[in-house]
Amino acid sequence: MQEELQTPNPEPKTQIKACLFDLDGVLVDTAVYHYQAWKRLANTIGFDFTEAQNEQLKGVSRVESLNKILAWGGVEKTDAEKEELATLKNSWYVEMITKMTPAEVLPGTVDFLTEIHQAGYKLALGSASKNSGIILEKTNLAHFFDEIVDGNMVTKSKPDPEVFLKGAELLGFKPNECVVFEDAVAGVEAAKRGDMRAIGIGEKSILTDADVVVSGLDKLTVKDLENL
């Protein structure tokens, strides 16, 4: 009998009902603005860091990013000084994202969000950023989301699954009914730790734990969710 030849699957996969999206690197490329603002801050203090180092900041919270940057520069600061520096960097960053337009939305995003929304999937944002509101508003993406969970609502950063578990809970679905779209290794790990499926946006060789990896949302259709 054919069934006997198949590897038993102890946890049959449920159908996907909800989609949780990371923001930076999945829907928009705000990493360029983070980089410019952090670089300006480092230069003000008296050192520099590379674009390759900046890769390590993707998906990482503001305070953790600052700690990493200060370590690269071999600089020590008190907590009060760090708060001041993070606020300064954020003011430069906000200045830039306030000028964002819908033209900066990554290729295929609007078509894919429209398609899955029309197919009946529920959508939530799951971002580390405390500036998600302004970005979604400026890029005209806010209306796609039933729930928004961002850095203002969580206490634990990715790879902790808190941001995605909260999204699933607010949407009213079990974690295994959700799929996460993520560009960062820590974000994919957060999805997996939360018992969710993960679609990696980027390189297969980097996002090794993702169930599927594509270069962007322009490579996906609603059919891909049915086949997950």
In a 10 Å sphere around its CB, with 0-12 CB exposed, 13-18 middle and 19+ buried, how is residue 184 labelled?
buried
Strand partners, 108: none
24 included as an active-site residue: yes
Q: Any contact of residue 157 with ligand B16 (CB under 6 A)?
A: no
224 included as an active-site residue: no
Q: Any contact of residue 65 with ligand B16 (CB under 6 A)?
A: yes
From 209, 208, 211, select the one nearest 224 (Cα to Cα). 211
Q: Which stretch binds ligand B16 (CB under 6 A): 1-9, 22-30, 171-179, 197-205?
A: 22-30
Query: Which 3 state secondary structure label does DSSP give 14?
Result: coil
Query: Both tokens of residue 82?
Result: 């760090």
Is residue 163 within 8 Å of residue 124, measured between CB atoms? Answer: no
In the shown chain, the binding pattern of residues 179 to 198 toward ligand B16, with x for contact by CB under 6 A and - for none, equals -----x--------------
Q: Which is nearer to ligand B16, 109 or 129 (CB)?
A: 129
| Residue 90, number of CB atoms within 10 A of its CB | 16
Q: Which stretch binds ligand B16 (CB under 6 A): 2-10, 109-117, 129-137, 218-226?
A: 129-137
Taking the complex as a whole, how short is the minimal distance between the CB of residue 80 and ligand B16, in angstroms? 19
Q: Any contact of residue 54 with ligand B16 (CB under 6 A)?
A: no
Kindly list the residues in this chain that would bind ligand B16 in the complex (CB under 6 A).
Answer: 22-25, 34, 57-62, 65, 90, 127-131, 151, 184
